[in-house]
Amino acid sequence: MKTTISVYAAFFFISVLSISCHKDSDVLGGTFSKVEEYMDICPDTALYILNSIPNPDELRGKAGADYALLMTQAMDKNYMKFSSDSLIALALNYYSVDKREPDMCAKAQFYYGRVLLESDKAEEALGYFLAAKEYFKSVRNYKILALIAEETGKISRKQKKHAEALADFRGAFAIHRQLKDSMGIVRASLHMARSFLFENQWDSSHYYYNYALELTELKKYPFEISILHELGILYRSMGDLNAAEPYFLSAYQKESDEEKKYMECLSLGYLYMQMGRVQDARNYLKMSMNSTHAYTRIDAYTYLYFLEKDIDNFEEAIVYHEKADSITNAMEAVNSGELITQLQKQYEKEKLQNDNLRMKIQYTSFTLWSVVAFLAVASCMCYYYCKNREHKNKIIEIESQIKENEEQIKCYQQEIDEIQKSKKQMLEENRMLEETRLKVGELNGKIILLSMQNKTLSGLLKELGGELTVGVSSEQYISAFRLLLAIREGTLRGKLSDGERYKLLSLFDLLYCNYVTRLLEKTPSLTKRDLEICCYLKFGLNNEELARIFQTSSDSVTKAKGRLKGRLGISSQDDLAVYLGGF
């Protein structure tokens, strides 16, 4: 009774737990669905929702993979830097094993390529982009195909393959226009404008920059400042410094981020320095000196150094040069320290990995040898068990065979006793049967002799004028006997007629105590030819004589005798004449 109650309690607990897990799974699935809805229109909201999920490190299986992929996607859309590829690698590893969601696997490949590209691993990233492209091309997901084209274009541009990069960007631009994705059109336009800028194709670059700027202002996208700044760079590269000034000024005035504002000051200062407007250049470059970024300050001090040097203000120039050098040295020291720390961490990480690998190899080796030893022992045990079992089965089989043989011996002994009991009676009956056959043969011979004597006497009687004649049956036997003598003496000419064959069969049936009748009773399937062969062999004729009777070859007679053995049921090695002689 207690066992039954325990079983029911365990079943109830498992049911409640499964329902609870199912509800949690449903809630998490709903959260992920919401994140996907906000990912394109409000990526910051999607990131906030993902950060609100409690204990994401405890998620396992599909839930963990979905979270890792969505978090990577949200971070990418919010322009966040990736510190490592561990998060997206978790998703990629899961979807690569679980083949039920190939679209998720392809999406994980795409974002893994994005993370690698941010880590300056362009070649590796390209492989993942192309793998994702193959899948999305087969399912015709043009939106992601456009994103992949943008990424592969960036890699080609970084490798200075501007023609290939431009082809990818054109493809992305065409897809975005087909999908009526205005933000995608702006991105593709900027990529093409930059490619034309690197190729010094000013008109094409200017066209796509202005196209992206007009669409950005219309849709209120956050690309306006970046486009204005790049237009300033375009005109500065063209040598039209006056045309570049309003774009740089407009970017500076619209920039709200303080740090980015210092970057715009640096660009304006460098532009004014090129234009020869020393005071304006000095003012903006000094403003950029307040940046928290060391490299911005280094550039500011370096430009000020050249500015003061050009106007022969060497004291100020030296001061700016020393400041630039001090910051550069400090940065090199920091970078060296960071590099050493990074190398130290990498060394410790590799050492830990090697230690873990060595321990894993030792454990695997120990496990392998343990399994081998276990299998060897188990094999020996199985061998001896099977051998012992086979031995026992053999003993049982032999004992059973001995018992069966003993029982068979008893049966045979009983049969021998019965045969011995009836042996005398059988011998007596055989003796009487043989005497009967001899008597019948003797009487048949006498009948024939008397029939021949009657034939002779009938002829004499006819000569004397008497009327008595020999009977039909006696005349038939006498004629058959004459044919038989002619066959034996070899004086027979021509082929026997059916009537003569019938007379011979009747004679043999008479001579040998219903010989033909007994043959047919034993083997009803015998043909007329078979019966004739049996009779002639009984009479003692050989193959040559049989060949003359049937007017055929001796080989044909031999084959006919072989077939006759089969019908009579005797072995092919037995002598047919001997068998028929005793029949």
One digit per residue, the tens of pLDDT, for the chain of length 583 reads 434 444 344 344 334 334 344 445 667 778 888 888 888 778 889 888 988 898 888 888 888 888 988 999 899 888 888 888 888 898 889 988 887 888 889 889 999 998 998 888 888 988 999 999 898 888 888 888 999 999 999 999 888 888 899 999 999 999 999 999 998 999 999 999 999 998 889 999 999 999 999 999 998 888 899 999 999 999 999 999 999 999 999 999 999 998 889 999 999 999 999 999 999 999 999 999 898 888 888 998 999 899 888 888 888 889 888 888 888 888 777 765 555 566 566 656 566 666 666 666 777 777 888 888 888 888 888 888 888 888 788 788 787 788 787 788 778 777 776 776 766 666 665 566 455 544 544 554 455 455 555 555 655 666 665 544 444 455 667 777 777 777 777 776 667 777 777 877 777 777 777 888 888 888 888 888 888 888 888 888 888 888 888 888 888 888 888 888 888 888 888 888 888 877 7
Residue 209 belongs to some domain of the structure: no
Report pLDDT for 270. Answer: 92
**Which among 119, 139, 159 is the end of a domain?**
139
**Which among 118, 139, 160 is the end of a domain?**
139
Residue 102 belongs to some domain of the structure: yes
Tell me how far apart the alpha carbons of residues 103 and 537 are, in angstroms, rounded to a whole number.
Answer: 95
Report pLDDT for 2. Answer: 39
Residue 16 belongs to some domain of the structure: no
Residue 477 belongs to some domain of the structure: yes
Tell me how far apart the alpha carbons of residues 530 and 533 are, in angstroms, rounded to a whole number.
Answer: 5
Q: What is the CATH number of the domain that holds 120?
A: 1.25.40.10
Residue-number span of the structural domain to which 461 is assigned: 456-581
Distances (CA, A) of 465 to 26, 165, 459, 472: 139, 147, 10, 20
Distances (CA, A) of 394 to 80, 407, 409, 484: 79, 20, 22, 67
Residue 53 belongs to some domain of the structure: yes
Tell me how far apart the alpha carbons of residues 350 and 509 are, in angstroms, rounded to a whole number.
Answer: 114
Residue 569 belongs to some domain of the structure: yes
Dihedral sign (CA 472, 478, 479, 480): positive
Q: What amino acid occupies position 156?
A: S
Q: What six digits make up the tokens of 288?
A: 């950029």
359 C-beta neighbours (distance < 10 Å), count: 10
Q: What six digits make up the tokens of 65?
A: 């993979």
**Which among 139, 162, 189 is the end of a domain?**
139
Taking alpha carbons only, the member of 288, 234, 221 closest to residue 261 is 288
- Quote the radius of gyration of the chain (alpha carbons, Å): 60
Provide the number of structural domains found in the chain: 2
Residue 423 belongs to some domain of the structure: no
Residue 519 belongs to some domain of the structure: yes
Report pLDDT for 557. Answer: 85
What pTM does this model have?
Answer: 0.53
Q: What single string gives the DSSP state of each residue in 89-155?
A: HHHHHHHHH-TT-HHHHHHHHHHHHHHHHHTT-HHHHHHHHHHHHHHHHHHT-HHHHHHHHHHHHHH
